[in-house]
């Protein structure tokens, strides 16, 4: 080899070796930075636990955390714990140090509440800021009264007066307003009408003491109509035919129809000749009677809906006309009811599907296929049912938000995002969501996409679901329907004997991947289990149980949730669609519906469920199950195979089932060039890796 060639080779080797050294140094630095960050997080968790117990012991544990983004949360936690002991200078010192942070807003609000409890009105007035809610607004008015300043109705009370209900903190203020002569009969009746429109009988009752005796008797009828419509309807024959009596009678009949449609019918027969109801009141009563006879599926329900005067019809009554006709399988009546829908309603995917269904049942096959084809363009439960009837693939136009490293760095530079991500990392999820919302309140779509990419890469999956919830962003399916292997869903579902795609669909609908979700009924975690139910499931299955808080651990929640789902499915021959309905509305209620309409095909049975929430719940879960099936396998078992006829045993999809391809039936909607389309037939796992980076609901 020539000497100059050797020289060139040596230079290349030196260059490569230098590159390796730089890469190695960078890798070592990255590892060191990661270790340092994990050390900070561990120290923060210890310090936060101490701060949450009050006092200053947390400070020793927080040595070296002063530059950590969520350090201010430590002192705030200690101050919040000691809220009844601290003084105004201590709080104001924190507010001056961190004037724009969420913990400062919370601390101010909570300290003002404490000052109001102490009735320390001087310090309260010094720290009060408007816009902190009705309770503190009324506390501020109490502070004003304590200083002997009179109230001004227009300045102090006019806005509060329009609220249907007010907190107890407002009671002394309203009493003072009455004593000062501000609560005139005209103003009292204005508030009574607001409360009546909102259905708040208790608010009306609270005002009775300030009305004249005659007016109090009249207002009492309105409160009775709202609080106890049956007794009000029974008493109404003794009421005079006045404007206010007609208002009360209308309220009573409408509310009674919701609860006892037959009793409301009988009351209407007595009262319609006694009171000179206005056309609007008459329409309201007739609509309620027809609607709630329909939800009860009474024998004359369809005739009532058909015969409603046009002025008494609403979108809801027109939809129920379709549902009752479907429940009767009266396909001629179904077509007539569909034709009576408003133009906007007729474009709804549910009614597009049932129009095709009716055409098919009426023997108009060619028209039916055309209608099915139109409905099958929709990526939805009804669109997929239509595709099953037509034998076509499922519509799914998939996109991936492009990763922009420069854009991500810009997002990571936002202080609020730094706090949000660290709060998530240390398990303070509620605080993390609040910081996220505040940091991105005015962000443009590109910034939001980069923020979601960052969150998803760190395991914060619900951000994609709540951010990509409208417009073209809905097509980010791999982010909106995450697969989370570390939580063990597939393995746990398999062990429970249920389809993992269905279990994922339930989880997605129940919590949208918010692992600390908690409902008003105390259902907790990803699959929304009530602690008592979870304890029973654990006992039945020989699984460990360590209390309600363990349901916030995704692995525990999924283990118990899949067993409970299997238990529910077992009550309905394994049918996932019926078990889904029971998961939402309760097994006893679904049993009642089955007793009444068990001869219906599954799609008609779902459409006839009386609860809007449950109808939509089942539709979403079945649709989400298909999406998750695609995410797991690259194709989906037909929704129709999950919708087994009532009474027929359900079998999970196996290797022999003819699966559905997911295809984009038309050019995807216009979007920014940074959102490239992805062929729906790309294996879902590959797509996922390339992206990296609501009748009262029974509790379970």
The two structure tokens encoding residue 648: 């027929």
How many beta carbons lie within 10 A of that of residue 336, not counting itself? 15
Q: Cβ(584)–Cβ(565) under 8 Å?
A: no
In this prediction the pTM is 0.89
Residue 435 annotated among the catalytic residues of the structure: no
Q: What angle do CA 407, 410, 412 make, to 5 degrees?
A: 110
The confidence score (pLDDT) of residue 700 equals: 55
* Burial class of residue 383, CB neighbours in 10 A (0-12, 13-18, 19+): buried
Strand partners, 677: 399
Convert the pLDDT of each residue in 537-573 to its tens digit.
999 999 999 999 999 999 999 999 999 999 999 999 9
- Residue 279 contacts by C-beta under 8 Å, 6 or more apart in sequence? 311
Q: Cβ(431)–Cβ(438) under 8 Å?
A: no
The confidence score (pLDDT) of residue 330 equals: 98
Task: Quote the DSSP letter at residue 661.
Answer: P
| Nearest alpha carbon to residue 577 among 600, 604, 606 | 606
Q: What angle do CA 384, 328, 377 make, to 5 degrees?
A: 15
List for the chain the helix, strand, coil content (%; round to 5): 65, 0, 30
| Interaxial angle between packed helices 102-118 and 88-97, expressed in degrees from 0 to 180 and rounded to the nearest 10 | 160
Q: Cβ(373)–Cβ(390) under 8 Å?
A: yes
Residue 508 host element (H or E): helix 500-511
Q: Cβ(625)–Cβ(501) under 8 Å?
A: yes
- CA-CA-CA-CA torsion sign (168, 170, 172, 174): negative
Rounded to an integer, what distance in angstroms lies between the CA atom of residue 540 and that of residue 690?
41
Burial string for 246-276 (b: 16+ CB within 10 Å, else e) reads bbbbbbbbbbbbeebbebbbebbeebeebbe
The two structure tokens encoding residue 387: 């595709």
The confidence score (pLDDT) of residue 655 equals: 84
Residue 273 CA, chain-centre distance (Å), reads: 45
- CA-CA-CA-CA torsion sign (493, 496, 498, 503): negative
Strand partners, 518: 524
Strand partners, 524: 518, 529
Annotated active-site residue in 328, 350, 422, 510: 510
Residue 73 host element (H or E): helix 72-81
The confidence score (pLDDT) of residue 671 equals: 43
Convert the pLDDT of each residue in 83-102 to its tens digit.
999 999 999 999 999 999 99
* Residue 164, φ and ψ in degrees, nearest 5: -65, -35
* pLDDT < 50 regions, the chain: 2-3, 5-6, 8-10, 12-23, 25-26, 668-699
């Amino acid at each position: 080899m020539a000497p100059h060639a050797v020289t060139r080779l040596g230079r290349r080797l030196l260059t490569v070796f230098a590159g390796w050294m730089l890469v190695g140094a960078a890798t070592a630095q990255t590892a060191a930075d990661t270790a340092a960050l994990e050390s900070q997080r561990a120290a923060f968790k210890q310090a936060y636990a101490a701060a949450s117990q009050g006092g200053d012991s947390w400070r020793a544990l927080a040595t070296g955390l002063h530059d950590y983004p969520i350090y201010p949360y430590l002192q705030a936690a200690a101050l919040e714990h000691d809220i009844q002991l601290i003084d105004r200078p201590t709080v104001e010192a924190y507010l001056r140090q961190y004037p724009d942070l969420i913990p400062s807003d919370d601390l101010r609000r909570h300290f003002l509440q404490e000052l109001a409890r102490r009735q320390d009105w001087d310090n309260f007035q010094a720290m009060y800021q408007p816009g902190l809610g009705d309770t503190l607004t009324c506390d501020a008015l109490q502070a004003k009264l304590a200083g002997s300043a009179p109230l001004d109705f227009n300045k102090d009370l006019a806005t509060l007066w329009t609220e249907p209900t007010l907190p107890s903190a407002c009671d002394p203020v309203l009493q003072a307003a009455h004593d000062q002569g501000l609560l005139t009969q005209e103003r009292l009746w204005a508030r009574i009408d607001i409360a009546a429109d909102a259905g708040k009988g208790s608010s009306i009752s609270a005002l009775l003491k300030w009305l004249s005796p005659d007016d109090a008797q009249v207002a009492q009828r309105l409160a009775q109509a709202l609080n106890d419509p049956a007794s009000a309807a029974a008493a109404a024959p003794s009421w005079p035919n006045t404007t206010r009596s007609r208002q009360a009678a209308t309220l009573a009949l409408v509310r009674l129809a919701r609860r006892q449609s037959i009793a409301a019918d009988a009351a209407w027969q007595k009262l319609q000749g006694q009171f000179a109801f206005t056309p609007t009141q008459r329409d309201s009563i007739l609509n309620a009677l027809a609607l709630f006879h329909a939800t009860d599926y009474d024998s004359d329900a369809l005739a009532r809906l058909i015969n409603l005067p046009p002025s008494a019809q609403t979108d809801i009554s027109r939809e129920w006309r379709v549902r009752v006709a479907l429940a009767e399988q009266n396909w001629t009546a179904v077509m007539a009811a569909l034709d009576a829908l408003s133009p906007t309603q007729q474009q709804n995917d549910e009614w597009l599907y049932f129009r095709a269904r009716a055409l098919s049942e009426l023997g108009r096959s060619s028209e039916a296929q055309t209608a099915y084809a139109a409905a099958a363009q929709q990526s939805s439960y009804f669109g997929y049912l239509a595709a099953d009837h037509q034998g076509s693939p499922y519509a799914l136009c998939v996109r991936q938000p492009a990763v922009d490293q420069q854009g991500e760095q810009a997002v990571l530079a936002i202080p609020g995002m730094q706090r949000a991500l660290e709060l998530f990392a240390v398990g303070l999820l509620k605080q993390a969501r609040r910081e996220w919302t505040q940091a991105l309140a005015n962000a443009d779509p590109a910034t939001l996409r980069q923020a979601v990419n960052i969150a998803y890469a760190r395991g914060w999956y619900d951000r994609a679901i709540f951010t990509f919830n409208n417009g073209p962003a809905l097509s980010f399916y791999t982010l909106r329907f995450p697969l989370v292997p570390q939580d063990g869903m597939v393995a746990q579902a398999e062990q429970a004997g249920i389809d993992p795609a269905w279990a994922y669909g339930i989880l997605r609908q129940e919590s949208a991947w918010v692992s600390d979700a908690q409902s008003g009924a105390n259902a907790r975690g990803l699959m929304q289990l009530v602690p008592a139910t979870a304890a029973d499931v654990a006992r039945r299955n020989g699984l460990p149980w360590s209390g309600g808080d363990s349901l916030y651990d995704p692995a525990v929640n999924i283990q118990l949730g899949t067993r409970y789902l299997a238990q529910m499915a077992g009550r309905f021959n394994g049918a996932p669609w019926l078990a889904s309905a029971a998961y939402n509305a309760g097994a006893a209620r679904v049993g009642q519906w089955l007793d009444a309409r068990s001869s219906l095909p599954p799609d008609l049975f779902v459409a006839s469920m009386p609860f809007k929430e449950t109808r939509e719940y089942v539709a979403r879960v079945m649709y989400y199950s298909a999406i998750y099936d695609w995410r797991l396998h690259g194709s989906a078992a037909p929704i129709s195979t999950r919708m087994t006829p009532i009474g027929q045993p359900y079998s999970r999809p196996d290797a022999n089932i003819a699966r559905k391809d997911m295809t984009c039936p038309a050019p995807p909607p216009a979007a920014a060039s940074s959102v490239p389309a992805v062929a729906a037939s790309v294996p879902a796992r590959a797509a996922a890796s390339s992206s990296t980076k609501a009748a009262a609901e029974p509790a379970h």
